[in-house]
């Protein structure tokens, strides 16, 4: 099929859909199982001798449309859709690691990813070392003979630290490690980790890919070999597969991804510039600001700075709570990528699985506030923040 620009692929996908009834939108295959014409066909499909669907946990046409579209957008060979973003994280790790293996993970991660690595994997004999992945020396020092994988996010949730994907990709190849990058904050439109040698790319499809706050889902993209292993082991036997209805909703959401991301980025830049000048803000973390260390990656690694901002308020933790409570347009809620602007306190919410010491090591202060800038008029967002600042 002809290769189109990303904005076009978000709408049309890898294959032109032709419905026998002329429907413009691909139908939702809301079914648990698929009928065989005879016993021989059923046996052939289970044996892998004939292509076709068997049972939705093993595959579904609606789910497949989503997987093919994301694989194409990430420029990977294939993809697997999962029931949640954490389903994507766990599938990308458990499919390739076993007892006795060693995982090197970024010291700053989404709270549940951190909890999985710090508290659950060691129970099954998988060793984990957390490092500052902006520091190649620290990364090298973490290497062990049993090291098998590196896992990171960029930008990092919630402090928006940007990692050097080329350095990570080269490091993984040099030491024969599987590299996994969570690309949720950027989407394939703003960043393609494969271009820098990354093996596996994951997303919480709950966020920008769906874009409407009504789905929880995940995506893992990689080689055909990697995705086949994920589907035939962890997804098949543990069962964190996506529902067809959720896949259909994400397929719908992807059609507007390009225009939504453009608006998120444009508005977030204006909000970040406003916050950086505010006397009650001590620090703003947003890669679109020249003051941010990640600014240097704009252009080559990242096409845009995304829609998430973190910042520190001058004052006490109570002042931060008062600020959040005083907002009216901004919704006090976790997650990101919704049409609504969302505001939250990472230390007590998304990153509460960290101990205070672990949060400090990861650069997540008690006063840090995170905003997912939505699609409202940016002047209204800024006015809401300004009104909240007046409250303390």
Q: Which of 69, 207, 260, 359 is catalytic?
A: 207
Give CA–CA dist 306/291, Å, rounded: 16
Residue of 101, 132, 164, 182 marked catalytic: 182
- Whether 110 sits among the annotated catalytic residues: the reply is yes
Interstrand relation of 368-372 and 342-344 (parallel, antiparallel or unpaired): antiparallel
Query: Catalytic residue at 252?
Result: no
Q: Which of 29, 53, 110, 208 is catalytic?
A: 110
Using alpha carbons, select from 79, 144, 70, 155 the residue that is nearest to residue 110. Answer: 155
283 among known catalytic residues: no
- Of 36, 58, 32, the closest CA to residue 233 belongs to 58
Strand 147-153: give its sheet, edge to edge.
78-82, 218-222, 200-204, 178-182, 147-153, 102-106, 127-131
- The helix/strand count (H/E) of the chain reads as 15, 12
Beta bridge partners of 222: 78
> What is the distance between the alpha carbons of residues 45 and 174, in angstroms, rounded to a whole number?
40
Burial class (CB in 10 A: 0-12, 13-18, 19+), 22: exposed
**Given the DSSP bridges, would you call strands 78-82 and 281-285 parallel, antiparallel or unpaired?**
unpaired
Q: Note if 286 is an active site residue.
A: no
Q: Which one from 57, 166, 236, 280 is the annotated catalytic residue? A: 57
Q: What share of the chain is helix, strand, coil (3-state, %, to 5)?
A: 40, 15, 45
Of 192, 342, 318, 322, the closest CA to residue 264 belongs to: 342
β-strand 218-222 against 78-82: which pairing, if any?
antiparallel
Mention every residue, 6+ apart, whose C-beta is less than 8 A from residue 190.
261, 265, 302, 303, 304, 306
Alpha carbon of residue 237 to chain centroid = 23
The structure tokens listed for 211 are 């874009």
Token pair 């997804």 is found at 235
Catalytic residues: 57, 110, 182, 207
């Amino acid at each position: 099929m002809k290769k189109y620009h990303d904005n076009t692929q978000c709408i049309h996908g890898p294959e032109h859909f032709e419905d026998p009834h002329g429907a413009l939108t691909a139908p939702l295959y809301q079914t648990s199982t698929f009928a065989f014409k005879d016993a021989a066909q059923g046996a052939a499909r289970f044996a892998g001798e004939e292509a076709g669907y068997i049972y939705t946990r093993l595959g579904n046409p609606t789910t497949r449309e989503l997987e093919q579209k994301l694989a194409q957008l990430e420029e990977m060979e294939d993809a697997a859709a999962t029931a949640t973003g954490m389903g994507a994280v766990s599938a990308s790790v458990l499919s390739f690691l076993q007892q006795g293996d060693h995982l090197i993970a970024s010291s700053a991660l989404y709270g549940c990813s951190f909890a999985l690595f710090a508290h659950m994997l060691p129970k099954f004999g998988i060793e984990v070392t957390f490092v500052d992945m902006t520091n190649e020396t620290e990364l090298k020092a973490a290497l062990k003979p049993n090291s098998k994988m590196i896992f990171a996010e960029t930008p990092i949730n919630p402090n928006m630290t940007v990692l050097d994907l080329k350095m990570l990709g080269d490091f993984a190849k040099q030491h024969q490690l599987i590299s996994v990058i969570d690309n949720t904050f950027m989407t394939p439109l703003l960043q393609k980790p494969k271009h820098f040698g990354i093996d596996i790319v994951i997303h919480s499809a709950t966020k920008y890919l769906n874009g409407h706050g009504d789905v929880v889902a995940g995506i893992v993209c990689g080689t055909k070999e990697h995705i086949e292993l994920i589907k035939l082991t962890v997804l098949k036997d543990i069962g964190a597969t996506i529902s067809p209805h959720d896949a259909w909703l994400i397929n719908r959401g992807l059609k507007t991804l390009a225009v939504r991301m453009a608006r998120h980025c444009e508005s977030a830049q204006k909000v970040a510039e406003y916050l950086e000048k505010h006397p009650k803000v001590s620090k703003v973390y947003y890669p679109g600001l020249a003051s941010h260390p990640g600014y240097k990656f704009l252009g080559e690694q990242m096409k845009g700075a995304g829609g998430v901002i973190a910042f520190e308020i001058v004052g006490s933790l109570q002042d931060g709570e008062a600020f959040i409570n005083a907002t009216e347009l901004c919704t006090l809620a976790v997650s990101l990528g919704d049409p609504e602007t969302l505001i939250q306190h990472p230390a007590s919410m998304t990153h509460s699985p960290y101990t205070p010491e672990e949060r400090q090591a990861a650069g997540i202060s008690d006063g840090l506030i995170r905003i997912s800038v939505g699609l409202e008029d940016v002047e209204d967002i800024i006015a809401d923040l300004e009104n909240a600042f007046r409250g303390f």
